[in-house]
Amino acid sequence: SLANRKDDDGINDGNFNGNDDCGGGYLRWHKDASADEWRMQTAVTTLERQVVPNGMPTTQTVKLIAQLHFADAAYFQDITNMIQSTDTIHYEMLVDETLMAPINDRRRLGRAGSGGATRRHLKAPIMASHHDQNVAKEYGWECQLNAMEYHRKEVPGIIQRNESPRWIHADYTRQEFMELVDAQNDGSKSSKGQQQQQKQQQDRPLWSLVSSSS
């Protein structure tokens, strides 16, 4: 389930600093006393600032939504409802570069003045792997990739500036990630050993390469 760390009214009603915190402030086990059951909760952190564009004061709001890869349908529906009125959505997802396409505008990802990277989006909807779908089915869950719509519908040659929501990929592609892994391992193994390791890595899901327990 979701738990707010800070509501839009500024009231902190979802303290993630208790003993049940197991995810650096964004993930916790929480006991529901009324139902006598435990729930895994992910945080929604709200950041706000006042700006005055063109002399008109307004509030800019950014929500950081921690999200599970597996959950019940109601969990993903709550997130979907929450982001319906959002102008832009930046999401993290390690996917193959062949599934991505650049967004044809002049805005870029990164710090102001740093150049940044070209913004990109998924060219078509994607589905969870058969393995993940089987795991979800076994426990009565939904897969994140099946329950959420990450595909940014776009008419070729037309920038839909008023489209809402707008899904923007803000992560490495599989190829970019593997380049980082290879760079970290460079020089630590023989050429033959590197080839064997690369073959093993290609057969492993990316999440296992960044897991401290893998």
% of the chain with per-residue pLDDT over 70: 63
Question: 178: exposed, middle or buried (C-beta count within 10 Å: 0-12, 13-18, 19+)?
Answer: middle
Predicted structure pTM score: 0.70
| Angle, vertex CA 191, rays to CA 185 and CA 193, nearest 5 | 70
Residue 44 has phi, psi (to 5 degrees) of -120, 110
Cα gap 31→202, rounded to integer Å: 40
Q: What is the pLDDT of residues 10-63, one digit of tens each?
A: 333 444 444 455 556 888 888 877 777 888 899 999 999 988 878 888 898 999
Q: What is the pLDDT of residues 104-146, one digit of tens each?
A: 765 555 544 445 567 888 888 888 989 999 999 999 999 999 9
pLDDT of the residue at 111 = 47
